[in-house]
Structure 1
Amino acid sequence: MSDATWLTPSMFAELKEATPYDLEHLPLEMALIDACIEHYRDFAQVACFDSVFHHSMPRVARQLPLPRHYEAQCYGYHDLACEFLMQELRRLGDPAAKLLGGYSAALGGLCTLVFAGGFGENSPQIRERICSNLGFYGITLNPARNSQTDPIISSDSAVVTVRVITTNEDLVMVNSVIRVLKLDVIQ
């Protein structure tokens, strides 16, 4: 699946066929779509997919660490959150937002580390534990900023800026629907 699009009967059927691949989410989402169709027959529906963002990553970042003949790759979810974070980083004016590990190597370094969602937004202890072994990247936290969950929690002398950003997947979905409807995007 790709970007947001009109929910057609054929797409609905395709989503039902894909249900076994995501038993935690799709059955509930399909039930919600069924209820909307039943109660709001005259309303057009737009589907937003949470697996779009990762399709644009470099091949080396999408590949799983398995022999190539398996042709296995990461599909990634929580893409709406990733898309929001990238938009927020662009809005904040950072020169680039790069991910850790393989992403850092593939992209030639790291200038920003972002914590978001559940633990990332709400757990100073987990942020501290994750960052405590990343000094070689130039990551050091300011303990007071981290414990208060300030927007920037890195120390002033850190090479890498460490941010805490509250995600807004709903805004990304609304803007996707607006794009499909060809209206003005909400900031």
Structure 2
Amino acid sequence: MNGTILALNAGSSSLKFRLYEVEGDKFTLVLRGQFDGVNENPHLSVKEAGGKEICNFDLEIGEHMQEDMLERIFSVIKPYTASRPLQAVGHRVLHGGGRFADPVLLNDEIVEYLETLIPMGPLHQPANLASIKLFRRIRPDLPQVACFDTAFHVNIDERAARYPIPLEYEAKGYRRFGFHGLSYTYIADRLREISEYLVKKRTVVAHLGSGSSMCAMRNGKAIDTTMGLTPLGGLMMGTRSGTVDPGLVLTLMEAENLSPAEIKHMLYYKSGLLGVSGISGDLRVLMASEDPNAKKAIDLFVFRACRELSIMVATMQGMESLVFSAGIGENSPVIRKLICERLAWLGVQLDDEANNANAEIISCPESRVEVRVIPTDEEIVLARQTSRVVSEALAAGQDVAYA
């Protein structure tokens, strides 16, 4: 495929996009942009690959915010696609359910199925589908590809995938899926690029951000992960609770007279760092605060992260490599240090100087576990998967337009 590909990564409160020039198997970043604070104080920033700023300004929240964002994206990329036509758009889609283990060309029937999965991803799935539908209306001729966050985990250990619930519900597809799959795909590929020996190690990847999870992997494949049927399970996050006793949910319904909708809102939007601190779900805000509840929230975040990591270690029966990634994992030496100090029992020894410098390897030479920091790149994975799907469809003589 030759031309350009637009990679869209829509979240609950942000929309990241990148434009890549594609020549065969070569992908060159042309520009990157991001809408932040979509639901509160929307802001657009766009830069060329070399760092030149294209735009940086606030937006007003309007009745048709999604449409406005996509129109602005088209306006920004238009000069860059004049001689290199836009060939396809790749969407990060949170949940593929039990049906999709690979990226897929989109059509109305597939989108209708993906809508049935919204209850399993109420923060992200609606935003993903909204972008797809708007592109369908604006550019029906343009191939659209869904790249699923669940796909990387499709072959995890069967014992890790199953819930101990009655067979009738397991047969209906109620199982653990796992998320952040595009990020883990990038990390697995990067480990292989670094060393074929490294990718074979029993590795835990810690994707730590406003949404956080961990993945146990070996040979570039997922073995276990902390999230489950939904992205609510596992680690404590910015506003999400992570795993809680299901009995707590039942008790809240009965003793506090909370409805399922109220509990869902609390666990997704009012818990995690925000709920424990009562201040913010942003770790940077909490680390700058002198409020004792801020420290309690940070301590609990670290404690819960280490507890979930120990589950990954138990699944693999050991750990030889630990990788930190995503916003917190890549940029917070303090959190990495606090986590690694609690992992001394596994033989983790941190090099403080390397850690403070955000070096690629932050463990001491004598550490039994090698600890790395690898910045993730979900958008390049989107572009690669989109190019592959469209190229294969064209080679097979298929109509690739959204139908």
How high is the TM-score relative to the length of structure 2?
0.43
Structure with a larger share of its residues in strand:
2
Partner of 1:102: 311
The one-letter amino acid paired with 2:181 is D
Give 1:40 shift. Answer: 0.5
Give the whole-Å Cα distance in 2 for the aligned partners of 1:47 and 1:73: 21
More RCO (CA 8 Å, sep 6+): 1
Give 1:108 shift. Answer: 2.9
Give the whole-Å Cα distance in 1 for the aligned partners of 2:388 and 2:202: 24
Partner of 1:133: 342
Report how many aligned residue pairs link the two structures.
181
- 1:27-176 superposed matches below 5 A: 27-63=126-162, 67=164, 69=166, 71=170, 73-93=175-195, 94=198, 95-99=200-204, 100-176=309-385
Per-residue CA distance 1:17-37 (angstroms, 9 max, x = gap): 222321211221121111101
CA pair 61-154 structure 1, distance change in 2 beyond 3 A: farther
What SS class does the counterpart of residue 148 from structure 2 fall into?
coil
Structure 1 residue ranges, 4+ long, deviating more than 6 angstroms after superposition: none
Partner of 1:181: 390
Structure 1, gaps ≥5 residues long: none
Give the whole-Å Cα distance in 1 for the aligned partners of 2:118 and 2:374: 31
The one-letter amino acid paired with 1:58 is D
Give 1:105 shift. Answer: 2.4
Structure 2, gaps ≥5 residues long: 1-95, 205-308, 393-403
Structure with a larger share of its residues in helix:
1
Give the whole-Å Cα distance in 2 for the aligned partners of 1:17 and 1:75: 16
How high is the TM-score relative to the length of structure 1?
0.89
Give the whole-Å Cα distance in 2 for the aligned partners of 1:141 and 1:152: 9
CA pair 106-20 structure 1, distance change in 2 beyond 3 A: closer
Give the CA RMSD over aligned residues: 1.8
Cα pair 1:86 1:97 within 8 Å, conserved? no
Give the whole-Å Cα distance in 1 for the aligned partners of 2:193 and 2:310: 24
Cα pair 1:53 1:80 within 8 Å, conserved? yes
